Amino acid sequence: MRVHRTVIAKDRQRRNRKGAIAVFTAVLMVPLLGMVAFTVDYGYLLKKRADLQRAADAAVLAAVRDLLPDADGYQDLVKVRARVREYVAYNLKDIPDFVVLDSDIEIGRYDPSTVYDNFTLLDWGTFDTVRVTLRFDQSANSPVSLFFARILGINESAVRASSTAILQKGSLLTPGVGVLPFTIPKSEWDNTELGEVWSIYGDGRLEDNIGAAIPGNWGTLDIGGSLNSTDDMRDQILNGLRQNDLDALNTQGRIPSNEYIDSRVPLYMSGDPGLSSGLKLAINAIEGQKRLIPIYDSADSSGSHVEFHVVGWAVCEVIDSHWGGEKNTYLRIKKSHLYDALLKPQTDLSITTGVVEGAFAAPAMVE
């Protein structure tokens, strides 16, 4: 009898324990489902955001290059916006008809004082920045549908990604950067409008686009050795700055490093007035192309030798040339802009003084 009562008691305990486990399992089911929903859906949302971020990064890096102004300073913002949409579509090609809102493509000029804190875009001046926001939300492309989170009454979630790229200001001239080994006066160049054409003559004269004489002279410049040959200048005109040019300037104590010429640091370079006919073929070969040209503020002459005090660099386009004796030989150039990936920026993006006027280096992501 005692054994029978013991068996009944154990059966009752077992049934109670099973009931307790069932209740406990039911209680834990909601947070367990919540954890599964969080893990699966959160991972899915992270992938969606990564896809948007990748597309936004590619779009701004491509589009910001299209901000390079033409010779008259015009910037084609329609082309920039089209480039953004082109690269977004390519990188999100598994999402047909993805929409990029006009308001999500911001174009402007970055405020250097805010580049490292509260990055701000200005709506005046030469634009150098593109910011793009891509989204899955109620405004465009619909929120992302979720899976397990529906059990908890959460059917969808908004996903957004933004990216910002700037055109960096060129400052450091490294080997390969296109140069024109001539120099022209700063005071007159500063007063020249974009697109205005100058004629620089073989006898050192300068004329503006209506043929009026420009005060000052110009000359060929020895960017490198103090007695650069005509062959050296031809090579620089065709192929750009060379490492041996930097080595020579450094050896002479004209620049502190043989790695680059810093446009913010003035230097003396020797040169000669006028234009050698030996440069004719090289000049003809680069007509229609852009080069960096040194700008000087003073010159000390000793016979045919001149020491130019170079205080900056600027961008010019070689229009054409004519060769017909010293007084009738001339080269026509105009102030312009260029993009050169070999031109290096200052590492501090807040520095915008002393950079090469009109020249942009490789774009950079800032947000």
Task: Tell me the range of 8-22, 28-42, 104-118, 150-164 where mean pLDDT is highest.
Answer: 104-118
User: Rounded to two decimals, what is the model's pTM?
Assistant: 0.81
Residues 40 and 98 in one domain: yes
Model confidence pLDDT, tens digit, residues 179-235 = 999 888 888 888 888 888 888 887 777 777 777 777 666 778 889 877 778 888 999
Residues 244 and 148 in one domain: no
pLDDT at res. 9: 47
Q: Are residues 76 and 150 in the same domain?
A: yes
**51 and 137 part of one domain:** yes
Q: Are residues 162 and 190 both part of a single domain?
A: no
Q: How many domains does the chain have?
A: 2
Q: What is the 3-state secondary structure (H, E, C) of the chain?
A: CHHHHHHHHHHHHHHHHHHHHHHHHHHHHHHHHHHHHHHHHHHHHHHHHHHHHHHHHHHHHHHHHHHCCCCCCCCCHHHHHHHHHHHHHHHCCCCCCCCCCHHHEEEEEECHHHCCCCCCEECCCCCCEEEEEEEEECCCECCEECCHHHHHCCCEECEEEEEEEEEEEEEEECCCCCECCEEEEHHHHHCCCCCCEEEEECCCCEECCCCCECCCCCEEECCCCCCCCHHHHHHHHHHCCCHHHHHHHHHCCCCCCCCCEECCCCEEEEEEEECCHHHHHHHHHCCCCEEEEEEEEEEEEECCEEEEEEEEEEEEEEEEEECCCCCCCEEEEEECCEECCCCEECCCCCCCCCCCECEEEEEEECC
Same structural domain for residues 188 and 62?
no
Same domain? For 206 and 182 the reply is: yes
Give pLDDT tens digits for 144-167.
888 777 777 888 899 999 999 999
The answer to whether residue 187 sits within a structural domain is: yes
The boundaries of the domain holding residue 107 are: 21-167
Q: Does 73 share its domain with 179? A: no
Q: Are residues 192 and 241 in the same domain?
A: yes
Q: Are residues 297 and 155 in the same domain?
A: no
366, part of any domain: no
Residue 365 within a domain: no
Is 190 among the domain residues? yes
**Domain assignment present for 355:** no
